[in-house]
Structure 1
Amino acid sequence: MVGQNRLELLLFGLETSQRYGINVFKVREVLQCPELTEVPRLTTSVKGMAHIRGETIPVLDLSEAIGRRAIPAEEQRKCFLIVAEYNRRTLAFLVRKVDRIFNTQWDQIMPPPAEIGSENYLTAVFELDGKLVEILDVEQILADLYPMATDVSEEVADKTVRAQAHEYHVLIVDDSAVARNQMQRSLESLGVKVTSANNGKQAWDLLRGMADKGVDVEKSFLMVISDIEMPEMDGYTLTAMIREDTRMQRMHVVLHTSLSGGFNVSMVKKVGADGFLAKFNPNDLASVVVNRISQVRESQ
C-alpha cells in the first residue's frame, strides 16, 4: 500500500454503538482480555497489567481515557485487548468489541469538522454504511496520561548551532495537534522557525502555491518533517508528489511515525524520502534538524 494513499483500519466499539478505527499497522494482535494484575497508579484508566507472550503490558481502558463510562472490573474478561505500539511504547487498549478490518483510501478519511472545536480526541472521521466511523487521536490520549518533555539537551545543540538556527525554516506536517505542538515547541527551543500543516494535502497546497508564485521552495525550507498516516493525503504520497515536481524535488524530506517496526526504513526509501524518524523524542528530532543544518552549511 506504500505510495498508494491507502490504509487498513481495525474497527472496534466501546460502550455505545459508535464505531472507531485504528490503523492495522499499529496493531500487534487482538485477544480476549485475560485476568489483569492490578498496579498502584495515578490514573484510573490504566486498569492493570496483562502478561502476554512473555511481556508485561499496561492495559488502558479506552472508554474511560476519552471521558466515557469505565468498563466494570467484572465485565473485563468479556472484552478484548488491542495490543498496539505507539511512540516506542507497547500497550493494550481495553475495548468492548472488535468488528473487522476495513480497507480504504486516505482521501476518504476526513479531518473532524472544525465546528466541534479542538477539545476532543478525534483525529479523523470517515463514512461507512451510512454512519461515521471515528479515528481517535491516540497520541493526544497518551500525552494526557503520560506528559512528555519537549526540551532539547544542550549536548544535541550547542550555542553555535542555536545561534545559527534562526536562519532556517522547517515545515512540519501532522494530523495530531499534540504531535504538532510537541515538535513545534522542541524546534522553536532551538531557534528554528516552524510552519505547520495538518495533513499532506494542506502541506502540498502550501508548497505548490509558493512554487506557483515563483518562490524557491527548496531554499525557503530547510526540510520537511512529515507524519506518514494522515487524512486526505498520507506522508508517502506527499513525498512522492514533491519528488515529481521539478521545482521542489530536491527538498530534504524526513518521514516520522508512531508506527513501530523495521519496515518503515525501507518503505520511506521507496518513496524517495531522505530519512525516517520514530515519534517522539525531542533530542532525536533536534538531531535530525541539527544534522541537516550542518549539511547545508558545509555545502555553502
Structure 2
Amino acid sequence: MIDSKGILLESGTNELEMVEFEVQNNRFGINVIKVKEIIQPTKVIPIPHSHPNVKGLIQLRGEVLPVVDMAKVLGLEERETPQSKFIVSEFNQQKVVFHVHNVTQIHRISWDQIEKPSEMYSGIKSGIIGVVKHEDSMILLVDFESIMVEINPDSGINVDQVKKLGPRERSNKKIVAAEDSPLLRKLLNDTLSEAGYESVEFFENGMDALKYLESQISKSGQMEEAVGLVITDIEMPQMDGHHLTKRIKNHPVLKKLPVIIFSSLITNDLRHKGEMVGAEAQVSKPEIAELIKNIDRYIL
C-alpha cells in the first residue's frame, strides 16, 4: 500500500513523488498521488465488446474495477511476466487498474527536472506529457487522463454541461490557462468558448504562464494587458500548479489575480494543498460546469 497522504506536506514546493514502472523494459512514471495501492495480478473477467485497451474487470474488496493494459495503450507487446503488477489508481473521480510488467521504485523529483516532450513526438495522441532524465536513461511521464478519456469519453470535459447553464453573453475578459495535456487544452478551449470566454491564452506549464504574466507588468507596476483570472492544472513539467499559484500570490503585482486550480487531483485529502498556496477555488476534472461557475464568480 502506498500512503500518499503524508508525503510532501508543504505545498507549493514544485516537487512530486513518482512511481516508476516498466512495460517491455521501457521506463514510465505515474504521480504517487494517483496511486492507491500496487497489487499482484488477479483474475480478470473479460468484457464483451469493450475498448481494446481494456482487459476486463476485477473485484477488489467489494469494488468492481476496470483493468487497462498499458502495453496496448503504449503500442507495445502484451505479455505476462513474473514481476507483473496491477497499479490501482484514483483520479478524475474514478478508480481504474493499470496492468504493467513491473514496478521498480519511487523517485522524489522536482518538476523543473521534467522536460516537456519534443514537438516530434508530442501531440494529442502521443500519451507522453514529460521526460525525466535519470541515470543515463529516461523515464516517460504518461498522460493517464487522456488514456481514460479515449477509453471513456464521458469521463472527460463535456461541453454539454456548459450548454445546460443556458444562453451566455460573450466576454472579452482575458483568461490565462496552464494545462500540459494537448487533448485537455483543446477540450478546455472549446468549452470555455461555449461558455462565452473566448479570450484564453494557453500555456503548456506553469513556468511559461508565469513568464507571460510577468512580461505584462509595465515599469509603473501595472498590467499592460488586463488578465481577469488564471486557471491551472497541478501536474505540469517545469512548474506545477501549486507552485505557480504560490508564486502569483506572493507577487506584489500579480497577487490580485484570482487563481482556480482545475485538476484530476482535487480530492478531500489533497484540497488543503491548494488552500495553503492561496487558490480562490479548486475544481476536480471533469466538472467543467463547476469551473465555469467559479470563473463567473471570481473573474476580475
Q: Structures share a fold, TM > 0.5?
A: yes
Provide the residue aligned with 2:110 in structure 1: 105
Provide the residue aligned with 1:184 in structure 2: 189
Quick one: distance in 1 between partners of 2:117 and 2:233?
Answer: 18
Structure 2 residues without counterparts, runs of 5 or longer = 1-7
Listed as ranges, the matches of 1:56-95 within 5 Å are: 56-71=64-79, 75=80, 79-95=84-100
C-alpha displacement of 1:87 = 1.0
1:12 alignment partner AA:
F
- The RMSD of aligned alpha carbons is 2.0
More moved, 208-217 vs 249-258 = 208-217
Does residue 44 (structure 1) correspond to residue 18 (structure 2)? The answer is no
Quick one: distance in 1 between partners of 2:21 and 2:218?
Answer: 43
Provide the residue aligned with 1:287 in structure 2: 293
Provide the residue aligned with 2:42 in structure 1: 34
Listed as ranges, the matches of 1:113-192 within 5 Å are: 113-118=118-123, 119-148=125-154, 149-156=158-165, 158-159=166-167, 162-163=168-169, 165-192=170-197
Provide the residue aligned with 1:240 in structure 2: 246
Quick one: distance in 1 between partners of 2:47 and 2:221?
Answer: 57
Quick one: distance in 2 between partners of 1:214 and 1:154?
Answer: 42
C-alpha displacement of 1:263 = 2.5
Residue aligned with 2:120, SS = helix
Provide the residue aligned with 1:273 in structure 2: 279
Quick one: distance in 2 between partners of 1:88 and 1:254?
Answer: 18
Quick one: distance in 1 between partners of 2:150 and 2:163?
Answer: 26
Provide the residue aligned with 2:215 in structure 1: 209
Is the alpha carbon distance of 1:195 and 1:69 closer, same or farther for their aligned partners in structure 2, counting shifts above 3 Å?
same
Quick one: distance in 1 between partners of 2:161 and 2:224?
Answer: 26
More moved, 260-269 vs 55-64 = 260-269
Structure 1 residues without counterparts, runs of 5 or longer = none
Provide the residue aligned with 1:223 in structure 2: 229
2:112 alignment partner AA:
D
More moved, 232-241 vs 204-213 = 204-213
C-alpha displacement of 1:244 = 1.6
Residue aligned with 1:114, SS = coil
On the 8 A contact 2:55/2:67 being kept in 1, the answer is yes
On the 8 A contact 1:35/1:77 being kept in 2, the answer is no
Is the alpha carbon distance of 1:135 and 1:167 closer, same or farther for their aligned partners in structure 2, counting shifts above 3 Å?
same
On the 8 A contact 1:32/1:77 being kept in 2, the answer is no
1:202 alignment partner AA:
D
Q: Which of 12, 16, 19 in structure 2 is aligned with 1:10?
A: 19
On the 8 A contact 1:226/1:235 being kept in 2, the answer is yes
- Tell me the TM-score normalized by structure 2: 0.89
Percent identity over the alignment? 28
Quick one: distance in 1 between partners of 2:39 and 2:255?
Answer: 45
C-alpha displacement of 1:102 = 0.6
Quick one: distance in 2 between partners of 1:32 and 1:213?
Answer: 60
* Corresponding pairs, count: 286
Higher helix share: 1
- Tell me the TM-score normalized by structure 1: 0.89
On the 8 A contact 1:5/1:237 being kept in 2, the answer is yes
On the 8 A contact 1:122/1:134 being kept in 2, the answer is yes
2:181 alignment partner AA:
S
